[in-house]
Amino acid sequence: EEALKTLSTFSVEVREREPSGGIRWSHLSSTPTVMENGDVRWDGIELVVTERKQAEEALLESEGKYRTIIEQMEEGYYEVDLLGNYTYVNDAQCRILGYSRDELIGMNNRQYQDQTNAKIMYRLFNGIYRTGEPVALSDVEIIGKDGMKRFLEVSVSLKRNTKGEPIGFRGIARNVTAQKKAEDEKRKLEDRLQRAEKMEILGRMAGSVAHDLNNVLGALSGYSELLLMKIPEGHTSRDYAEKIMKSTEKGSAIIQDLLTLTRRGVTVSEVINLNDIVSAFLKTPLFEKITSNHPMVTFRAECEEGLLNIKGSPVHLDKTLMNLVLNAAESIPGEGEVIVRTENRYLDKPVKGYDEILHGDYAILSVTDTGTGIPAENREKIFEPFYTKKTARRSGTGLGLPIVWGTVKDHNGYIDLQTKVGTGTTFTLYFPITRQEIIATEPGEPIERYMGSGESILIIDDMADQRDIASGLLQKLGYNVHTVSSGEEAVEYLGKNKADLLLLDMIMPPGIDGMETYRKILEINPKQKAIIVSGFSETDRVREAQRLGAGAYVKKPYVLEKIGLAIRDELKRQSTV
């Protein structure tokens, strides 16, 4: 009717069923012409377009299936124009970014990426446009609508029109944030394991020499103590012997540093308060020396009242605090400040920092400085043994922070490190608290308390000087002493003789060790009493000997009061075998 009014051509596609039952599509076009007599004549063409219509229907069906597949994909699918603005996204892409479809259409990647990552995506799209080759990229960083960082794996290809001209880009994105976090955790775990392996290697190195070093120091200490027992007060030679004793104590402290470093040195576990550790350290000559060497640095302490107690070793914690304060002071090139803090802290959930800190109650010791900070490339190495960035004029040996690490771990604690180059550093140490109260220190025992009464003592030690020292000390205490140089000799001797108590060294190469010696002796005398001595910290072999019936464990070098009390108490103890 419209064509008749305007005398224009109209067209229509008609669907017909053929006699055979098939479908036939025809495209009809016709133009009206008005004759002189007023009649209208229609001139038209009919084209059979069944194949084209079937192809179009197949294409629509295919596109429908294609869209369905895209919408059901777990990966994000997107299409953008040449400027990078979204023209299409599937539901998965919306979930990845956290935006709705309406919000994303027309949005550019610069709106959810920082400048650095937006430049990376620009170079990616530009390269694809120039070469026409698809590209895959890992660890693309974005910021979701919720403000959280996400990491994607993306693959992008060029989108063309029917003429082959570029009209945009299409791609697939996969959210790998969880995978990347897992990989980061795995890497951190591997780093921790590598650190542990380094500590273990150093432990074997230290362990191989600690026994011999302790024996050397034990000889110096023991002979000095024997000299002091013979030299009267006021004699000039007594001062020399006392200085030798002090030197051996310093040497013993160095060995303890190595053993602490290898997590084999902390054996004392008394109830202490970190406020007392801080207060005592600030009164030491060593702290005075640190302050005098750094006159432009201000030192102050902020200790929380009512700080909860912990169980640990005052000697090692004092050494830890000294190392942290010294490092803090030496990190400040001019004027600055070092702050020592203590506080109670409860963590209701684990905290991941330099160390992974479990939930619980902690007493905190932290040392903060306004120094140069620690560069990122050095942070993973600062706790490694012998690693130091100090100059030759500084006091660095590379053992300070590893000792801090070893001490904290021996106290079942954790370390957190916060540092910024040019601003400063804070080391925060977390120690599990105890509800036990501090026991007042008792004065030293008088020698009459641990004098012997002629009891027989068998000293079993492979080192001649150690046998001599122990023999000399015990004879002074009134004991009847016999010595042997190996476990085999001890078994042979006790097969024919008796001893009220054994002073048994644990390590006696190349023969049987103390634990095996004691086992064989028990076959001869099941009620044999013994004291265990060693230059090492307490080990599983020591504990096994104690389970068999041995008494106290005494760490070398020999000290008259310590060994005397241990022997006296063991002789009085009723046998439980």
Is residue 204 domain-resident?
A: yes
Residue 341 has pLDDT above 80, yes or no: yes
Residues 241-252 pLDDT 10s: 888 887 787 677
pLDDT of residue 459: 95
Distance from C-alpha of 119 to C-alpha of 242, rounded to nearest angstrom? 72
Residues 403 and 315 in one domain: yes
pLDDT of residue 37: 80
More confident residue, 180 or 483: 483
pLDDT of residue 40: 77
* Mean pLDDT over each residue of the chain, to the nearest integer: 82
What is the enclosing helix (H) or strand (E) of 32?
A: strand 23-34
Residues 528 and 408 in one domain: no
pTM of the model as a whole: 0.49
Instruction: Give the list of residues 6+ apart from residue 109 with CB closer than 8 angstroms, or none.
Output: 80, 84, 118, 121, 142
Structural domain boundaries enclosing 511: 447-572
**In the listed set 243, 261, 279, which residue is the last one of a domain according to the structure?**
261
Residues 413 and 533 in one domain: no
Confidence of residue 65 (pLDDT cuts 50, 70, 90): low
Is residue 335 domain-resident?
A: yes
Residues 361 and 289 in one domain: yes
**In the listed set 175, 194, 227, which residue is the last one of a domain according to the structure?**
175
* CATH code, 159: 3.30.450.20
Q: Which of 424, 389, 381, 427 is nearest to 408 (CA)?
A: 427
Is residue 439 domain-resident?
A: no
Is residue 423 domain-resident?
A: yes
* CATH code, 223: 1.10.287.130
**Cα of 317 vs its chain's centroid, Å:** 20
Residue 394 has pLDDT above 70, yes or no: no
* CATH code, 389: 3.30.565.10
More confident residue, 90 or 574: 90
**In the listed set 241, 261, 281, which residue is the last one of a domain according to the structure?**
261
Residues 340 and 430 in one domain: yes
Residues 253-289 pLDDT 10s: 667 666 656 554 455 578 999 999 999 999 988 899 9
Instruction: Give the mean pLDDT of 331-337.
Output: 92
Least confident among 38-42, 129-133, 351-355: 351-355
Residues 400 and 291 in one domain: yes
Confidence of residue 393 (pLDDT cuts 50, 70, 90): very low
Encoded tokens for 267: 């054996």
Residues 278 and 424 in one domain: yes
Distance from C-alpha of 42 to C-alpha of 32, rounded to nearest angstrom? 5
pLDDT of residue 374: 87
Is residue 364 domain-resident?
A: yes
Residues 104 and 43 in one domain: no
Residues 307 and 422 in one domain: yes
Residues 407-463 pLDDT 10s: 888 888 888 889 999 999 999 999 998 878 777 655 667 888 889 999 999 999 988
More confident residue, 55 or 320: 320
Residues 168 and 191 in one domain: no
Residues 240 and 372 in one domain: no
Counting the structural domains of the chain, the total is 5
Confidence of residue 468 (pLDDT cuts 50, 70, 90): confident
Neighbours of 488 (CB within 10 A): 14
Residues 498-556 pLDDT 10s: 999 999 998 888 899 899 999 999 999 999 999 998 765 556 788 888 899 999 888 77
Distance from C-alpha of 2 to C-alpha of 8, rounded to nearest angstrom? 8
